[in-house]
Amino acid sequence: MATSDVKLIGSWASPFVIRAMIALKIKSISYEFLQETFGSKSKLLLQSNPIHKKIPVLIHAEKPICESLIIVQYIDEVWTSGPTILPSDPYDRAIARFWAAYIDDKWFPSVIGLARGQLEGEAKEAAIEQMSVGFVLLEEAFVKCSEGKGYFGGEKIGYLDIALGCFLGWIRVTEKMIGMKVIDEAKTPCLVGWAERFCADSAVKEVMPEIEKLEEFAKLLQAMYRAPPK
């Protein structure tokens, strides 16, 4: 679909930006990617998201839409001719939104320190434990939502798949950093298969960053967060 009035402000390494990219890919929407420079914020970003000043921002017909999950929902509602992203049943939709909120509000804040390499000792152990407990809950959610199919969304990638799957690159980097698997066969067997399917999907493959590239970027971030404040 020729949609030159669609722009995405983002950065290749941001899991939140990847959410928007996957949703656009699912709907076959072409767009202009406006890459932010690491460490600074463009005038367009500040104008488009003055409240949070964060990426991603989707600009559609010159109007900005902020917050990745809201962007994914917007894309689903505007481009209805493509495959649907949110479940059609209101209850299933509510459940998918509940778990997406859990991922962003509870799970992600408890693990972000790990990816940034900011935690040591007991704090690090506690974050690893929280991340693992979160995955066990998400495994249970997967079993219920997928009803024996390959994705949270059933036969194909849906809202909750995008909400969690966008973190898979960073999860792999974190696993390397801490020297253990957090999505593992023993505790989360269904999520192991789901993660493989998700990353191999055509809507995801092209936008999911390479692990080696992310590792390099993670080292940069870690150096930045460990540096004493000026």
Ligand X SMILES: N[C@@H](CCC(=O)N[C@@H](CS)C(=O)NCC(=O)O)C(=O)O
Q: Where on the chain is the footprint of ligand X (CB under 6 A)?
A: 14, 16, 53-56, 67-69
Q: How far is the CB of 54 from ligand X (least distance, A)?
A: 3
Q: How far is the CB of 87 from ligand X (least distance, A)?
A: 20
Put residue 119 in one of left, alpha, beta given phi > 0 → left and psi -120 to 50 → alpha: beta
Q: How far is the CB of 122 from ligand X (least distance, A)?
A: 26
Nearer to ligand X, 55 or 127 (CB): 55
Nearer to ligand X, 67 or 92 (CB): 67
Nearer to ligand X, 150 or 217 (CB): 217
The closest residue (CB) to ligand X is 54
Packing angle, helices 168-178 and 189-200, rounded to 10:
120
Q: How far is the CB of 193 from ligand X (least distance, A)?
A: 26
* Token pair 């998700």 in the structure block, residue: 198
Nearer to ligand X, 52 or 90 (CB): 52
Which 8-state DSSP code applies to residue 130? H
Question: What is the C-alpha to C-alpha distance for residues 114 and 170, in angstroms, rounded to an integer?
Answer: 10
Nearer to ligand X, 100 or 131 (CB): 100
Question: What is the C-alpha to C-alpha distance for residues 186 and 204, in angstroms, rounded to an integer?
Answer: 26
Nearer to ligand X, 7 or 188 (CB): 7
Query: Which structure tokens are listed for 58?
Result: 């989707």
Q: How far is the CB of 108 from ligand X (least distance, A)?
A: 9
Q: How far is the CB of 9 from ligand X (least distance, A)?
A: 9
Question: What is the C-alpha to C-alpha distance for residues 99 and 44, in angstroms, rounded to an integer?
Answer: 32
Q: Are 6 and 32 in contact (CB under 8 A)?
A: yes
Closest CA to 214 of 157, 175, 184: 175
Query: Cα(first)–Cα(last) distance of the chain, in Å?
Result: 48
Query: Which structure tokens are listed for 186?
Result: 């023993």
Task: List beta partners, residue 35.
Answer: 10
